[in-house]
Amino acid sequence: MSRPWTLPALLVLVGSIVATALCVGGEPGDAVTLAVVFGLLAGASSPLVFPRSISAAEAHRRSAADGRPVVFWRPGCAYCLRLRVRLGRSARRLHWVDIWRDPDGAAEVRAANDGDETVPTVVVAGRAHTNPDPAWVRERC
């Protein structure tokens, strides 16, 4: 299993175990509710809620052509999820780079953040901004 799917898989596993225990204990309604909650948490922490990632080189090439920001992110990051959700539909217009899949992207994030892989890091016009306000990013789409 690849690293981005570890947390979602763990959430599904734990949710299934607890829901099964509740069901065996005679509380099927609670079991279903808990299974749904764990399923939603797994989905929110998975790469599925983010637009398709591309390499850092491709993201910079596209950004140079259309002027849109490049967002460096990683699955399971609550701040990345917050940015994605608050951007809404405009998130699809940005260029997303998963730093767990792209070593060059991870290196760029470390260079911008004093050696830390702090995400989301948004690059606008060649300048990196760490964990910017989603409204500010939306203005630059």
At 134 the pLDDT is: 93
**What is the pLDDT averaged over residues 57-66?**
95
d(CA 93, CA 11): 30
Nearest 10 degrees: Cα torsion 90, 93, 98, 99: -100
In this prediction, residue 1 has a pLDDT band, given cuts at 50, 70 and 90, of very low
Closest CA to 19 of 6, 5, 38: 38
d(CA 59, CA 57): 5
d(CA 74, CA 120): 8
d(CA 83, CA 141): 13
d(CA 26, CA 9): 26
pLDDT digits (tens, 9 = 90+) for 100-130: 999 999 999 999 999 999 999 999 999 999 9
pLDDT digits (tens, 9 = 90+) for 10-31: 889 999 999 999 989 889 999 9
pTM (two decimals): 0.73
